[in-house]
Amino acid sequence: MELFLTDIFRPLYGALRLMMFDAGGLTRMDDSRRGVMISFLAPLLTLLPMIWLQTLQSQTAEVAMDVLSLSRDALGYLIAVFGFPVAMHYICRYLKRGARYHLLVAAVNWTAPWQILIMGFAYLLYSWSLIPRAFPDLILLAASSFNMVYIWFAIRAALGVTRGMAALMVVLMATIQLVGLLLTQINF
């Protein structure tokens, strides 16, 4: 399978348009099997920045980071990345939206780099103490909240479901991510 720059930049631009709440960004997503497989590159390419964010977070929490803990973090991230599409496969079939499943997976996967960029910027502001001391975690809360709304919009636009149903899917995604994060806490 050949990979071209347009296979990456076109859906990244589509995800950027989704971040601006423009459903037209979905037209930039390749919802073929090939396009969905390529879309998994986006969260995998953000694995290193995600580990960097975990390292920043651990430095602010004064927790030691070693290779084993970074490996656990990477495993938790991979569970979060691959767990949601598996769950959504069955949910899309149940909701009779199976034809839009590939579009959903591609859209959600291509939002990952922008989400990491938003969180990275927030962590930099947080670690540089550019926020008034009265609200130290406000920037992280705001960035996380924006990412949740961003994902909500991408899911709603990709599947054409109601606002409430899209919100439930975001809760499902957050639950899967929490399971992935909880697995990073296991000491082995």
| Residue 30 to residue 49: CA distance in whole angstroms | 25
What is the pLDDT, as a whole number, of residue 69? 66
Question: What is the Cα Rg of the chain in Å?
Answer: 17
| Residue 133 to residue 45: CA distance in whole angstroms | 34
pLDDT tens column, 84-139:
899 999 999 999 999 999 999 999 999 999 998 898 888 888 777 766 666 768 88
62 token code pair: 């004064």
Domain range annotation of the chain: 32-183
What is the pLDDT, as a whole number, of residue 163? 96
- Supply the pTM of this predicted model: 0.82
User: Which of the listed ranges 60-64, 152-156, 174-178 does the model predict with the highest average pLDDT?
Assistant: 152-156
| Residue 40 to residue 108: CA distance in whole angstroms | 10
| Residue 54 to residue 73: CA distance in whole angstroms | 8
